Amino acid sequence: MEATAEEVDRAVRAAHGARAALADRTVRAAFLRTAADLLDEARAHVIEAADAETALGPVRLTGELARTTAQLRSFAEVVEEGSFLDIRIDLPDPDATPPRSDMRRWKIPLGVVAVYAASNFPLAFSVPGGDTASALAAGCPVVVKAHPDHPATSELCAALLRRAAAKEGLPEDVVVLVHGFDAGVELVRHPLVAAAGFTGSVRGGRALFDAAAARAVPIPFHGELGSLNPVVITPAAAGERAEEIGAGLAGSMTLGAGQFCTKPGFVLAPRGEDGDRFLAALTAGVSETEPAVMLDHRMRDAFVTGVAERGALDGVRTPVTPGAGGEHTVSAGVLAVDADRLTGAAATDHHLLLEECFGPVTVVARYSSREEVTAVLGLLPGNLTATLHIAERDEDGDAAPLLAELTPLAGRVLVNGWPTGVAVAAAQHHGGPYPATTSTSTSVGATAIERWLRPVTYQSTPDHLLPPELRDGNPLGVPRR
Q: Which of 53, 64, 186, 224 is catalytic?
A: 224
For residue range 400-416, list pLDDT tens digits in order.
999 999 999 999 999 99
Residues 47 and 64 in one domain: yes
| 223 neighbors 376 (Cβ within 8 angstroms) | no
Residues 364 and 304 in one domain: yes
CA 367/CA 92 separation, integer angstroms: 61
Tell me, yes or no, whether 356 lies in a domain: yes
Q: Would you state the pLDDT for residue 276? A: 98
Q: Would you state the pLDDT for residue 81? A: 97
Q: Would you state the pLDDT for residue 346? A: 61
Q: Would you state the pLDDT for residue 326? A: 84
Tell me, yes or no, whether 422 lies in a domain: no
Tell me, yes or no, whether 169 lies in a domain: yes
Residues 289 and 411 in one domain: yes
Strand partners, 113: 142, 195
Average pLDDT in the chain = 96
Residues 360 and 220 in one domain: no
Q: Is pLDDT above 80 for 349?
A: no
Residues 182 and 271 in one domain: no
Residues 315 and 238 in one domain: yes
CA 223/CA 200 separation, integer angstroms: 8
Residues 11 and 39 in one domain: yes
CA 426/CA 446 separation, integer angstroms: 5
Tell me, yes or no, whether 395 lies in a domain: yes
Within 10 angstroms of residue 20's Cβ, the number of other Cβ atoms is 9
For residue range 455-470, list pLDDT tens digits in order.
999 999 999 999 999 9
Residues 67 and 162 in one domain: yes
Reply yes or no on whether 261 is catalytic: yes
Residues 360 and 243 in one domain: yes
End-to-end CA separation in angstroms for the chain: 50
CA 269/CA 372 separation, integer angstroms: 11
CATH of the domain at 189: 3.40.605.10
**pTM score of the predicted model:** 0.94
Long-range contacts of 299-305 (CB under 8 A, 24+ apart): 299/119, 299/259, 299/358, 299/359, 300/324, 300/328, 300/329, 300/330, 300/359, 302/358, 302/359, 303/330, 303/357, 303/358, 303/359, 303/361, 304/330
Q: Which residues contact 173 (CB under 8 A, 6 or more apart)?
A: 14, 15, 17, 18, 141, 162
Residue 56's pLDDT band (boundaries 50, 70, 90)?
very high
Tell me, yes or no, whether 424 lies in a domain: no
For residue range 104-116, list pLDDT tens digits in order.
999 999 999 999 9
The secondary structure of residue 393, as a DSSP letter, is S
Tell me the residue range of the domain where 461 lies. 5-225+437-470
CA 174/CA 142 separation, integer angstroms: 6
| 248 neighbors 418 (Cβ within 8 angstroms) | yes
CATH of the domain at 410: 3.40.309.10
For residue range 356-366, list pLDDT tens digits in order.
999 999 999 99
pLDDT average, residue stretch 272-290: 97
| 330 neighbors 360 (Cβ within 8 angstroms) | yes
Q: Is pLDDT above 80 for 444?
A: yes
Tell me, yes or no, whether 478 lies in a domain: no
Q: Would you state the pLDDT for residue 154? A: 98
For residue range 214-257, list pLDDT tens digits in order.
999 999 999 999 999 999 999 999 999 999 999 999 999 999 99
Three-state DSSP at 386 gives strand
Tell me, yes or no, whether 475 lies in a domain: no
Strand partners, 145: 116, 178
For residue range 130-163, list pLDDT tens digits in order.
999 999 999 999 999 999 999 999 999 999 999 9
Residues 148 and 272 in one domain: no
Three-state DSSP at 109 gives strand
Per-residue CA distances from 23 to 87, 110, 161 (Å):
17, 12, 18
Residues 160 and 288 in one domain: no
Least confident range of 148-157, 209-218, 345-354 = 345-354
Is it true that the peptide bond before 435 is cis, omega within 30 degrees of 0?
yes
Residues 352 and 407 in one domain: yes
- Split into its structural domains, the chain has a count of 2
Tell me, yes or no, whether 430 lies in a domain: no
